[in-house]
Amino acid sequence: MAEIAARMIHPSLAFLSDFGNAFDFIFQTREAQTGGVEVGGLHEVWTFTWEHLKISFAAIGLACAIAIPIGLALGHVGKGELLAISVSNVGRAVPSLALIAFFVAYIGVGFTNVMLALVLLAIPPILTNTYVGVRQVDREVIDAGKGMGLRPHQVVRRIELPLALPSIFGGIRTSAVNVVATATIAPLAGVLTLGDYILSANVYGPDGRLAGAMLVAALALTVELAFAAIQRAVSPRGLQVET
Amino acid sequence: MRRGRPVNALLAAFAVVACAVTLAACGDDNKSSDSSTSPSGKAIKSNPDNANTNITVGSKNFTEQFILGEIYAQALQAAGYKVKKDLNLGSEQIALRALKGGDVDGYPEYTSTALTSFFDVQPQAIPKDAAEAVSAAQDKFANEGLVAYPPTPFTSANAVGMLKTKAEELGVTKVSDLKGKSQDLTLYGSPECRQRLDCLVGLEQDYGLKFKKFTPVAIDLRYEVLDKGQADVSIIFTTDAQLSTSDKYITLEDDKKVFPPGNVTFVASKKTADAAGPDLKTTVEKVQTGLTERVMQELNARVDVDRETPKVVARAYLREAGYIQ
C-alpha cells in the first residue's frame, strides 16, 4: 500500500515505502522472518526502549558521580591538567566497540558489566568539560569571593560549580549521545536493547532492522535535545548574555 | 620367417584395433574428460581444454568459508581452469548478489542457510534428512538459474555444547536428557537464537525444555562463556575448531532434530557451469569427499588456533589427500 502510494506521487519516492514498512513494524506485531514467534509491535518496542534508556542513564549517572567531583577538584587546585585532558582524550580515542569487547571478554556479560563499560565511555567528556569549565571561571570573581571570606569549598560550590555548569552539561550531553548510540551493541553482551532489531535482522527482517535504526536515532536525538535544553536552563543569566 | 608372418599380421591387426580403441578413448576423453581421472585416481588432472575458462571463486567472510573457498579455487586451478578468488564477500545475501551479478562464478553455501535465507523456507520445514535438504536446495537454486553441486560429507549446524565435566555430572548425552534439568541451567547463544525455531524456540517447543535464563551474547564468545562458568549450556557449531583441539567440550546429540542439516554445496551460475564443462562438477565433488566434520574442525583449528592462513591450510589438505602434488 505504502509503496503504491509513494510510487503514485513520484517513482523515485518508492524508497519511502521502506520507512512505511518500518513504521508498521513498530506499531504492529508480525510473524518473525524465521517463523514461529511474533515480533515487533509497541509492547516489544517499549520493552527494548526501556532497557536501552535504563542502561544508558545508569551509566551516565554513575559517570557524572565519578567525573564531576574529580573535575571540580582538579580544576579548583589547577593541577592535573594532564590527567583531565590528555588521559581523557586517550579514553575518547578508544573505540567503544573495543571497550565493550574488552569488558565482556575479561569481566563477563550482563547488565552491570555492560553498564560499567559504558561508564568508562561516558567519563572522559564529562571530566574534561568539568575541568575546563572550572578553569575558565574569571579569576577576579574567585578572588572577590575569597575577599568576602569564602572558604575553598564554598568557592567551589557557590562560584566555580555554577559558572562551570554550562560546560559540564555540554560534556554530559556529548556522553549521553555516545552512550545511547553505543548501547545498541549491548545485545552482544546479554542486555536486550533496541540494538537487537539491528543485530538479529534475520529474525526481525529488513523492516525490523530499519525500525531499530530509526528508533536508536530518534532516541539519541531526543537525548541530545533534552540535554541541550537543560544546558540552556542551567546557564547563569550573565553567561547566557555573553554567548 | 614364414611362420612369423601370420604372427606379424596378427600383431598388426591387434595394433590397429588397439590404436582405434585408444583413439576412441582419447576422443572420448576430450569431450567428457573425466574418464581418465576415475574415482580411484585421486590426483586432479589438468585438462588443457579448461585453460580458456575463467572461474572466480567467492566465499563469505569467516574461517570455514575462507578455507572452503581456497580448497575449491586451488582444486579448480589444478584442473586447468583460470581461477580468480574473491574470498571476503560478507553475508550470504551479499554473496548471492555477487553470484547473480556475475562478480563471482561460484561460492560454497550451506543448505540450511540457503533454504531459510534465500528461499524463505521456515526452519521447521527444512527436511531433517541431509540428502533431502540438499535436493530441496538444488531445486530452488535451479529456479534461479543457479547450479548447486553435490554436498560435502560434513554438516555445519548449531549444536548444544557443554563442558564434558558438567555433562558427566548431569549424566546427559542427548538434548532430550536435559528435560527436568534445564530449569537449573543457564543457556547462552547469539542474540538471534532467542527467537529462532532452529535454536531456543525449538529447544523449548520440541524438547519441552525451559532454561533458567537465556543470555544473548556475541557468537565468538560461545566457548568463553562455558570456560568462565557463566554458561552451563552454550550454542556452538558442529565444525568448531575448539571441538578438535580440546576434549573439554562435548555436543549433545540432537535426537529430535531441531537443528537443520547444513551441508555445504558449491553453487555456481548456470552460465559458468555450462561453459566450464564436466570438470567443474567432478573436481568439486572429488576434493570435498574428504571433508568430514572431524577434518573440517581440524582445518578450522589450523587457521583459528595455529594461525596459519586459509590458503596454506587448504593446500596442505589437498596435498595430504593426494588431490594435488
What pLDDT, in 10s, does the model give residues A16-43? 788 889 999 999 999 988 878 899 999 9
- pLDDT tens-digit series, residues A168-200: 999 999 999 999 999 998 998 899 999 999 999
Shortest distance between the Cα of B126 and any Cα of chain A, in A, equals: 12
- Residue B232 is predicted with a pLDDT of 95
Name the pLDDT band for A9 (thresholds 50, 70, 90). Answer: low
CB proximity B218 to A under 8 Å:
yes
In B169-232 the beta strands, taken as DSSP E runs, fall at: 186-189, 213-216
- Closest CA–CA distance from residue A103 to any residue of chain B (Å): 12
Q: With beta carbons under 8 A apart, name residues in chain A contacting B202.
A: 36
Q: What pLDDT does B36 receive?
A: 40
The per-residue pLDDT for range A92-146, each reduced to its tens digit, is: 777 777 777 777 777 778 899 899 989 988 999 999 999 999 999 999 999 999 9
Say whether B124 and A37 touch across the interface (CB within 8 A): no
Pairwise CB contact (< 8 Å): A109 & B194: no
Q: Contacts of residue A104 in chain B, CB cutoff 8 Å?
A: 217-218, 221
The confidence score (pLDDT) of residue A236 equals 80
For range A67-78, the mean pLDDT: 92
Residue A207 confidence class, pLDDT cut points 50, 70, 90: very high
Mean pLDDT, rounded, of chain A: 88
What ipTM was predicted for this assembly?
0.78
What residues in A contact B211, CB-CB < 8 Å? none
> Any CB–CB contact under 8 A between A189 and chain B?
yes
* pLDDT for the residue numbered B121: 86
Round to whole Å and give the CA distance between B201 and B211: 11
Q: CA Rg, chain B, in Å?
A: 24
pLDDT tier for residue A5 given thresholds of 50, 70 and 90: low
Contact B123, B202 (CB under 8 A): yes
What's the pLDDT score for residue B305? Answer: 86
User: What is the pLDDT at residue B253?
Assistant: 93
**pLDDT value for A79:** 81
* pLDDT of chain B, 325 residues: tens digit per residue: 333 344 444 444 444 444 444 444 443 443 333 434 444 468 888 888 898 899 999 999 889 999 999 999 999 999 999 999 999 888 888 899 999 999 999 999 999 889 988 998 887 788 888 889 999 999 999 999 999 999 999 998 899 999 999 999 999 999 999 999 999 999 999 998 999 888 999 999 999 999 999 999 988 889 989 998 889 999 999 999 999 888 899 999 999 988 988 899 999 999 999 999 899 999 999 999 999 999 999 999 999 889 999 999 999 999 999 998 8
* Interface residue B197 vs chain A (CB under 8 A): yes
B214 contacts in A (CB within 8 Å)? none
Give this prediction's pTM. 0.76
pLDDT (0 to 100) of residue B55: 95
Using the Cβ of A199 and the Cβ atoms of chain B, whether some distance falls under 8 Å is answered with: yes
Residue A27 burial class via C-beta count within 10 angstroms: exposed 0-12, middle 13-18, buried 19 and up: exposed
d(CA B53, CA B70): 18
Which amino acid, B285? E
pLDDT for position A123: 92
Q: Is A206 part of the contact surface with chain B (CB cutoff 8 Å)?
A: no
d(CA A51, CA A111): 10
- CB of A212 within 8 Å of a chain B CB? The answer is no
**Nearest-by-CA chain B residue for A107:** B228
Q: Quick check: A187 contacting B, CB < 8 Å?
A: yes
Chain A nearest CA to B267, separation (Å): 22
**Residues 6+ positions from A143 with CB-CB distance below 8 Å:** none
Lowest mean pLDDT among A80-84, A227-231, B77-81, B215-219: A80-84
> In this complex, which of B123, B195, B217 lies closest to A189 when CB atoms are compared?
B217
More confident position, A107 or A231: A231
Interface test with A, best of B217, B220, B228 (most A CBs within 10 A): B217
Compute the CA torsion angle B138, B144, B147, B152 (nearest 10 deg).
-40
pLDDT band at A14 (very low <50, low <70, confident <90, very high): low
Instruction: Place A8 in a pLDDT band, splitting at 50, 70 and 90.
Output: low
Q: Work out how many CB contacts closer than 8 A connect A with B.
A: 67
Looking at residue B116, its pLDDT comes to 85
What helix, strand, coil percent values describe chain A, rounded to 5?
85, 5, 15
Contact B201 A192 (CB under 8 A): no
